Chains A and B, each alone.
Chain A
Amino acid sequence: EVQLVESGGGLVQPGGSLTLSCAASGFTFSDWSMNWARQAPGRGLEWISYIRGGSDVIYYADSVRGRFTISRDNAKNSLYLQMDSLRDEDTALYYCTRSIEYGLGPSWGRGIFVTVSS
């Protein structure tokens, strides 16, 4: 069974940093591109970042470029999102997803909350 489990969320002050992790199981992690996406409370979906299996291709949304860094460790079957210079508007439920031809899926994690507030 494919599982994606996010961790590392929580409350952080504006300007602070946080690192999210996503533990993957049930599939050959290195064969799959991965994404991070988020959803602010009561709002729609927002794609954040994409990384190919070999980490040779990485893309970011304009809203996070220069502040967030995506990475992966294929030996540990893990995906990461280093988030720096956090802003109030980064408050959201963050999802880890597999990627199929730039579609987010077919697997999504349950999500992890990040709250940026003083």
Chain B
Amino acid sequence: QSALTQPASVSGSPGQSIAISCTGTRSDVGGYNYVSWYQQLPGKAPKLLIYEVTSRPSGVSDRFSGSKSGNTASLTISGLQAEDDGDYYCSSFTSARTIVFGPGTKVTVL
């Protein structure tokens, strides 16, 4: 069982914006600015989209943005595109000096 919670699924139409939440506790999401987000397309290795809550690695589209409020972090995908269809995971560093993942959210582009 994941220490972080995410919605099982989120959907949207092309061009819309969607947000995926990632809720933890003060021992992980709320206590550290080490929240990351990943995209995993079918049959592929995961791809880092966001690290340190809001930072994007080089080459990641600015349609992906991250934020955090209290114990909940969020990933927003703007201008939804068909190629965004896939699974999205959050992770956080924890007070136990571990890294925990959320269970994943399936994004469907309608």
Contacts and interface: CB of A to CB of B under 8 A. Distances in A.
Interface of A: 35, 44-47, 50, 59-62, 95, 100-106, 108-111
B38 A95 contact: no
A35 B91 CA distance: 13
B48 A62 contact: no
B69 interface: no
Interface of B: 2, 32, 34, 36, 38, 40, 45-48, 50-52, 55, 57-59, 89, 91, 93, 96-104
A105 B47 contact: yes
B34 A102 contact: yes
A105 B34 CA distance: 13
B99 A104 contact: yes
Given A103-B36, A111-B45, 13 more contacts: A35-B99, A44-B2, A45-B46, A45-B101, A47-B91, A47-B99, A50-B99, A62-B98, A103-B48, A103-B51, A104-B48, A105-B51, A106-B59
11 contacts: A44-B102, A45-B89, A45-B101, A47-B98, A47-B100, A100-B48, A102-B36, A102-B91, A105-B47, A106-B59, A108-B45
